[in-house]
Amino acid sequence: MPPASPRIAILGFAIECNRFSPVSTAADFVQDVDIRGERIVEEARSGASITLPDLPGFFSEMDRTGPWTPVPLRVALAQPGGPVQQEFFDGFHAEIEAGLRAALPLDGVFISSHGAALCTENDDPDGELFASVRAIVGPDVPVIAVLDLHANVSEAMVRNLSVFVGYLRNPHTDIHDRGIEAARHMRELLGGEKTAIAMVKLPLVPPSIALLTADGPYGEMIAYGQERVGGDIMNVSVMAGFAFSDTPKNGYSAVVTARNANSGAARALALDICRRTWKMRTRFRKSMTGLADAIAMAGAAGHDMTLPSVLLADVADNPGGGGRGNTTFILRALVEARVTGALLAVFNDPPLAAMAHRLGVGAEFQAQFNTGETDAFSQPFEARAQVAFLHDGPFVGRRGVLKGVSGDLGPSCLLQIGSVGVVVISNRQQCMDPSQIEALGVDIGRLRCLVVKSRGHFRAGFDEYFASERIIEVDCPGLTSPALHNFAWTRLPRPVYPLDEHATWQEPSG
Ligand SMILES: [Zn+2]
């Protein structure tokens, strides 16, 4: 008999870590999300949660399917960045362990996760967290996590979960649905179902731009897995991973959860998916457009109103992958070429946004970009600018990945540099929702060229304005450049495809 009102611990730890980016600190979590106790429940049921959407999805389905008692502990999320300061993670981890022990006995645990975290002294904090959750609640209590398909999956992560639920879409428009799915599995496991999870990993670390799911090899393999869900197969998660974490656990992984503890079926399907993927590995390569060609296309759209407008994706400076959101390669080129009707959004520069707020709307000044950061990619840029709009920062996403999610740009402004506009913000984040631009008074439909600092999530937010053939991935330097051979990898398992053209895969036996 399932318990009348099962007590389910709720926790979250989610950050995608880029080995090459500056260390992520407590301040980065505080600026994004670091909440405890009943505040978690309030957010999850608010209709516009600040958390990842899997949490409200999980709550809605648990609420719909019967009584339960959430036991909210702590949820900490930060924008993608460098490895997490060890002290912050250790404090978080200790608090979760103490909270779980104090809450015993528990009937289940739900973890809103990402799966590509690093700490300054630990390459697998997610695995460490899952292991201590399992050790505290015991072997028979369902522990279910939702993970980003960019997770770098370790044995410790798989071994300590009851059900492994990975996102199915990139851009990630299904996070809420995966929370619902996790709640359904939770109800089933509370009813006595026993599971087994198998993982098979490939020496395949593709560049992120080769991992869209609307079409292409990755989408095909995810679809193949979904066609096999049913019977003993409870969940199929094809996890492409996040290259820039640069860990020994990097590598495309098939993770299958089976009912009836049917580990044989789980393993056979995971192996089948990896065999099929490996055969088509050459399709996981993708080329970009050079800066000069991209600017020429933007210039042409600015001159000729009969052409559809164009979107330039600055994929190498994606805050959603640990970029600082402040490189000036494309901005400088747009200004020098005097491209008409162009807007770059969003540019992370707190001191510049603060300066605009001090000066006020209409003021003209010599805008100095990147006075606050000094790394190799955050190069200074200076131009005569006018403050066209000011905003305090809050917005609610309206389309795609951020739909219904509350966000905050921080103090922000629209600067006009001749014919080129720039949305400058204070809370570093990826541009992926029209609301982040409309909050600054911009009519996106009137732009001739939009430049976004984003790798791919923008596609789900801006598809109503830009057809996919008018989206140009621009090849510039940056912390998230898909040109993987430009990075000094130290911990990736080598050889690995496509970095090492002749990498081979030894199928696991047994
Ligand atoms: Zn992701």
Which regions of the chain are under pLDDT 50?
none
Domains of the chain, by residue range, sit at 7-284, 289-481
d(CA 455, CA 323): 10
For residue 241, the CA-to-ligand 1 centroid distance in Å is 8
pLDDT score at 152: 98
For residue 172, the CA-to-ligand 1 centroid distance in Å is 7
pLDDT score at 510: 62
For residue 149, the CA-to-ligand 1 centroid distance in Å is 6
For residue 498, the CA-to-ligand 1 centroid distance in Å is 20
For residue 350, the CA-to-ligand 1 centroid distance in Å is 25
For residue 167, the CA-to-ligand 1 centroid distance in Å is 8
Neighbour-count burial for 356-371, b at 16+ CB within 10 Å, e otherwise: bbebeeeeeeebbbbe
For residue 272, the CA-to-ligand 1 centroid distance in Å is 24
Token pair recorded at residue 271:
């192996």
For residue 457, the CA-to-ligand 1 centroid distance in Å is 9
First to last CA, the chain: 36
For residue 170, the CA-to-ligand 1 centroid distance in Å is 7
d(CA 217, CA 197): 24
For residue 471, the CA-to-ligand 1 centroid distance in Å is 20
For residue 305, the CA-to-ligand 1 centroid distance in Å is 35
For residue 373, the CA-to-ligand 1 centroid distance in Å is 26
pLDDT score at 274: 98
Question: Is the C-alpha dihedral spanning 374, 375, 376, 378 positive or negative?
Answer: negative
For residue 437, the CA-to-ligand 1 centroid distance in Å is 22
pLDDT for 123-165, tens place per residue?
999 999 999 999 999 999 999 999 999 999 999 999 999 999 9
pLDDT score at 194: 98
Residue whose C-alpha is closest to residue 153's, from 164, 140, 138: 164
What global pTM score does this model have? 0.94
For residue 466, the CA-to-ligand 1 centroid distance in Å is 22
For residue 384, the CA-to-ligand 1 centroid distance in Å is 37
Q: How many CB atoms lie within 10 A of CB 90?
A: 16
For residue 313, the CA-to-ligand 1 centroid distance in Å is 17
For residue 385, the CA-to-ligand 1 centroid distance in Å is 35
For residue 56, the CA-to-ligand 1 centroid distance in Å is 18
For residue 2, the CA-to-ligand 1 centroid distance in Å is 34
For residue 361, the CA-to-ligand 1 centroid distance in Å is 37
For residue 15, the CA-to-ligand 1 centroid distance in Å is 10
For residue 259, the CA-to-ligand 1 centroid distance in Å is 27
Contact partners, residue 180, CB within 8 Å, separation at least 6: 57, 58, 60, 61
Token pair recorded at residue 386:
């006018």
For residue 463, the CA-to-ligand 1 centroid distance in Å is 19
